[in-house]
Chain A
Amino acid sequence: MHSMTLPGVAATALACLAPCALAQSQGANVVKLGITEYTTHAKTNGISGVGIPPGADVDVSNATTVIFVYERLFTPNVGLEFVIGVPPKLKATATGSAAFLGEVLTVKNVSPTLLLNYHFFSPTDALRPYVGAGINYTRFTSVHSSLAPDVQLGYSTGLAIQAGVNYAITKDVGLFASIAKLDVKSKVVATGATVLTTTVDFRPIVYSAGVSYQF
């Protein structure tokens, strides 16, 4: 897999602001529309604060949403991909000694991801696997909690890696499927009668599939 730093990505992008003849001849732009299953494997460092039983923890639900992908190909094999989804609603449920509390928080995550992809094989192949690496930025909105009126979740910036496959049905239209792993951590501070803090490592694995259009 290519290990390319972000400045490298930028340099490539700048280099190709001028028409990249080769890429354009293959169709330099790809848009994708897909369904994503955002599966979390959340771990916390425990909940700290007054009024919470020892051994209390939370688990975070999975979510399904729609994603939109734009990829700009700079060479037949290298492209820069931007992924954004309709912010899904995640639900946090108390576990351990506080399980009786049930659902304690809902939140929407706005989670754009920028990935540099390497596509195997050649543009004339129908089936083309690809791998990518990049950066995910996640911020949290629409926070609602039964535990506290004021809950702050810090934003997260972390690595993203993915592997996927494109299948060309026609020259322009295809299908894709991918799996991605994101690094999403957030410091949570819930302020109500008391102050509760935790850090949630969401450890999401994102499964996506949909249609692509190349132009």
Chain B
Amino acid sequence: MRSFRLVVPWAVSAVLLAACGGGDPDVPGSGAPAGAPTDKGTFTAIVSFGDSLSDVGTYAPATSLAGNGTPPFFGGKFTTNETSNGVPDANPLGKVWVEDVAADLGILVTPAEVGFGGTSVKCPAAANPAIASTCTGYGQGGSRVTDPNGIGHAGGALTVPVVTQIANHLARFGSFKASDLIFVYAGSNDVFTQFGTFAAAAAQIQAQAANGTISADEANRQLFAAQNTALAGMKQAAQELATDIRTQILANGGKYVAVMTLSDIADTPFGNSLPADARGVLTALSQNFNVWLRDGLAGQPVQIIDTFALFKDAYQNPAKFGFVNNTTPACDVAKIQAITGGQVTDGSSLFCNATPGAPYNGLTAGADVNTWQFADSVHPTTGGHKVIAAAFEAQLQAFGWI
């Protein structure tokens, strides 16, 4: 890719565009939400929709120590896991941000569905009447906004799309309540999907340019067109998400609704592994999603938490957030491959255990789950999630909600 002029968007303009909250009616995405509550909520549930970043343990059975889907599990969340005996919130470590926020508010949140490879149980907490209504952690690794065929679906992951997650909540609970603190944080897997399609097209275009079949200018035009197709996919996902938030959450009683923009996935070990111009495309995909998400939510009574700005700050100023390493995954690819009998070759943190001394500990030598930001190529460590939770809580306080 380096030999061609960059088909690279850059961050500043869209951020500035988004920052002028006044809103220019001629410029989509320049408006802001309006009318969200400004008073403190009395929350009894955290209702969280999303993907792996918000997944509170959907795929734990895939990490059964016995290998038969039963507890104890050595992994199950996309972070640096602690061994879980299957009892929700049984241990204080290895939490994702949803659980961190819930714990700080004194609320329990458990997975809405648990399973892998075609077998799953909805609301496992329902078996225990005392916590039966806590199964409002809908986020699942691999989930996209509307497409049920998420990342890893073919390999057994549920990847229930976010619009179906929301429908499932309505099916079980009937409506949203003023006592629900609702999080919607989705779209990153749409970025990965669109980026994957773009990268495949780009490789072909570049091969043609390299062997002289097409000119450099023609290659750049085709790359631009491929990028535009990917950006259009992100626009569609954002518009579908915004529409679903309006018609399914807000129209069904949702009052305290926080919607996250997407962060810059270029600021991850995965992003760093890419050539500069490909990173630019990755950045643009998140930015474009954010533009159209804002556009779809302009004037709506929600609050937007801009993870793009928050994560950018953390990535560029790691020390300010207590990180000493934001480039190396804390989980060791080879160890995870060995622990999973060779089945997991990408070092996915879903299978990464951080329990000191455990034989199935998958940490890289010297890694620290609190001061290293990333567990694997894209997912945060326990410490990474704590920083996210703290940033989100600061936003919730700024809204006056907590």
Residues of A within 8 A of B (CB): 48-54, 97-102, 152, 154, 187, 189, 191-195, 197
Closest 8 CB pairs of A and B: A48-B13, A193-B232, A100-B220, A100-B217, A193-B231, A50-B288, A51-B9, A50-B287
Would you give 11 A-B contacts (Cβ < 8 Å), ordered by A? A49-B14, A50-B288, A51-B284, A51-B288, A53-B7, A100-B217, A152-B26, A189-B26, A194-B288, A195-B29, A197-B17
Chain A min CB distance to B339 (Å): 41
- Tell me the interface secondary structure of chain B in the complex: helix
* A48 partner, pick from B5, B6, B16, beta carbons under 8 A: B16
Q: Which residues of B contact A54 (CB under 8 A)?
A: 6, 8, 10
User: Which B201-239 residues have C-beta < 8 A from chain A?
Assistant: 216-217, 220-221, 224, 227-229, 231-232, 235
Chain A residue with the shortest CB-CB distance to B218: A100
Chain B min CB distance to A91 (Å): 17
Q: Which residues of A contact B26 (CB under 8 A)?
A: 152, 154, 187, 189
Q: Let me know if B266 is at the binding interface, CB within 8 A.
A: no
Chain A min CB distance to B376 (Å): 27
User: Which B1-44 residues have C-beta < 8 A from chain A?
Assistant: 5-10, 13-14, 16-17, 26-29
* B228 partner, pick from A191, A192, A197, beta carbons under 8 A: A192
Q: Mark B304-324, 1 if CB is under 8 A from A, else 0.
A: 000000000000000000000
A50-B284, A50-B287, A187-B26 known; A193-B235 Cβ under 8 A = yes
Known pairs A48-B16, A50-B288, A51-B227. 16 more at Cβ < 8 A? A50-B13, A52-B9, A53-B10, A54-B6, A99-B217, A100-B5, A101-B221, A189-B27, A192-B228, A193-B228, A193-B288, A194-B228, A194-B235, A194-B288, A194-B291, A195-B28
A-B contact count (CB 8 A): 73
Q: Which residues of B contact A52 (CB under 8 A)?
A: 9, 13
Residues of B within 8 A of A (CB): 5-10, 13-14, 16-17, 26-29, 216-217, 220-221, 224, 227-229, 231-232, 235, 284, 287-288, 291
Q: Is the CB of A51 within 8 A of B231?
A: yes
Chain B residue with the shortest CB-CB distance to A48: B13
Q: Which residues of A contact B227 (CB under 8 A)?
A: 51
Q: Which residues of B contact A191 (CB under 8 A)?
A: 28
Chain B residue with the shortest CB-CB distance to A188: B26
Chain A min CB distance to B202 (Å): 14
Chain B min CB distance to A104 (Å): 11
Question: Complex formed: what's the CA distance from A191 to B288 in Å?
Answer: 12
A189-B27, A191-B28, A194-B291 known; A53-B6 Cβ under 8 A = yes
Chain B residue with the shortest CB-CB distance to A52: B9
Question: Complex formed: what's the CA distance from A54 to B13 in Å?
Answer: 10
A51-B284, A101-B224 known; A195-B9 Cβ under 8 A = no
Q: Which residues of B contact A48 (CB under 8 A)?
A: 13-14, 16-17
Question: Complex formed: what's the CA distance from A99 to B215 in Å?
Answer: 14
Question: Complex formed: what's the CA distance from A67 to B287 in Å?
Answer: 46
Chain A residue with the shortest CB-CB distance to B217: A100
Chain B residue with the shortest CB-CB distance to A191: B28
